Amino acid sequence: MTEAIWSVGVVAKRCGVKVSTLHFYEQQGLIQSWRNAGNQRRYKPEVLRRISVIKAAQKVGVSLEEIKQAFLSLPNNRTPTLEDWQLLSKNWQRMLDGRIAYLQTLRNNLTGCIGCGCLSMAKCPLYNPDDTLAASGSGPVILDQAEQEALAKKPEASD
């Protein structure tokens, strides 16, 4: 077992986060620390990877709850192996692919009708006459359909 020797200040500096962020992540069950004889928090070196994954995932819009659920597949009491991280990656790949497809569609169609029902674009009557897409759902229906189509084209990750 790797010894938990890193102080909260060292981990915060190394990861580029505030000490309060580490405390918050710990309260949320995303990372673990141990107390030394002086009752000071100590971390194992592998906490750097967990925090880096948290930061990277948040940058692409993954919620802390989604991160927490993914981390449930990782061991808390041992260093995650390459296989552990590959499993987490595989589980997130489909979700991230859908988000990427959505962002690409948004980027490519932002100046045109996205099926939101505002009917303010000149082309809306062609794509969404009289807001007929409202029957298909709320929000930007055309963008949402593009995301679903992209996900349907991707094979589901298998073990």
Instruction: Please state the domain extents for the chain.
Output: 1-80, 98-159
Specify the length of the chain in residues.
Answer: 159
* pLDDT score at 96: 85
Per-residue pLDDT of the chain (159 residues; tens, 9 = 90+): 557 689 999 999 999 999 999 999 999 999 999 999 999 999 998 899 889 989 988 988 889 998 998 888 877 666 678 888 888 888 788 888 888 888 888 888 777 777 777 767 766 766 677 788 888 888 788 778 777 777 777 665 444
Distances from the Cα of 27 to the Cαs of 9, 13, 32, 35, 110, in angstroms? 17, 19, 9, 15, 39
Residue ranges with strand state E in 3-114: 6-7, 34-35, 41-43
Residue 125 is predicted with a pLDDT of: 61
User: Residue 43 has what pLDDT?
Assistant: 94
Residues 6+ apart with CB under 8 A from 27: none
CATH architecture of 1-80: Orthogonal Bundle (1.10)
Q: How many CB atoms lie within 10 A of CB 11?
A: 22
Please give the model's pTM, rounded to 2 decimal places. Answer: 0.66
Q: Which parts of 8-154 are beta strand (E)? A: 34-35, 41-43
Q: What is the pLDDT of residue 159?
A: 42
What Rg do the C-alpha atoms of the chain give, in angstroms? Answer: 22
